[in-house]
Amino acid sequence: MARLTVKLRLGLLVLLLLAACRGYHAPVQSPAAAHYPHYSTELVRVDKTAIRVVDGDTFHAGDLTIRVLGIDTPETVHRGQPLGQEPFGGQASALARKLLSGANTVEYLPAEKDRYGRLLAHVFVDGELLAIKLIEASLAYETVSHYGDNGFPDLAREIETASQKSATPAFMEPYRWRKLQREEKAQAAPR
């Protein structure tokens, strides 16, 4: 009888362990965390089906608007204002859309919100910085030298290095283009 009790207890223990393990899934390794383990606890994975690209450096992820840190791409829209489209804006948007939708994983490393309510973040597609991919395609200017590293000096250095190694984009720096558009609009306004 005592032997049956021991076997019964062992059997129940095995069943409990199997039941407990049934719902367990090993954590999925983050591609960005593999390259940048010191940021692993801060990385946020994005549901790719919720992504809607605004332009090369801005996209919506559900209710969140994310502005990619470290770069400035040509404008396709400017906060709803009719400034028109800057040359190469469509190409930058198309490449961002292709990279984001074609990635197995999209993750971001949040910094802070800007004055327009957008979340400033480093964005990773399959573990690689989206900013660098756009710079290497000559569809973005780096902004680290103007705005600083935003608390991510290692990522900022990578962006600056990629910019130094890549061809200069064939379009005017977007901030200069926006300024020129505003000046032209002001001159054309009736006085």
Tell me the per-residue pLDDT of 167-188, one tens digit each, with 9 for 90 and over.
999 888 988 888 888 888 888 8
Q: How far apart are CA 104 and CA 109, in angstroms?
A: 17
User: What tokens appear for 93 in the block?
Assistant: 């948007």
Question: Does the pLDDT at position 29 exceed 80?
Answer: no
**Which CATH number is 31-188 given?**
2.40.50.90
Domain range summary for the chain, segments of one domain joined by +: 31-188
- CB proximity list for 6: less than 8 A, separation 6 or greater: none
Tokens 């901030």: give the residue. 175
Give the global pTM: 0.80
Q: How far apart are CA 144 and CA 180, in angstroms?
A: 22
* Confidence (pLDDT) at 27: 46
Is 66 within 8 Å of 131 (Cβ atoms)? no
- Residues 48-85, buried b or exposed e (16+ Cβ, 10 A)? eeebebbbbbbbebeebbbbbbbbbbbbbebeeeebee
Q: How far apart are CA 109 and CA 131, in angstroms?
A: 13
The predicted-structure confidence for 5-23, as pLDDT tens digits, reads as follows 767 666 665 655 555 544 4
Q: How many CB atoms lie within 10 A of CB 105?
A: 17
Give the catalytic positions in this structure. 67, 75, 118
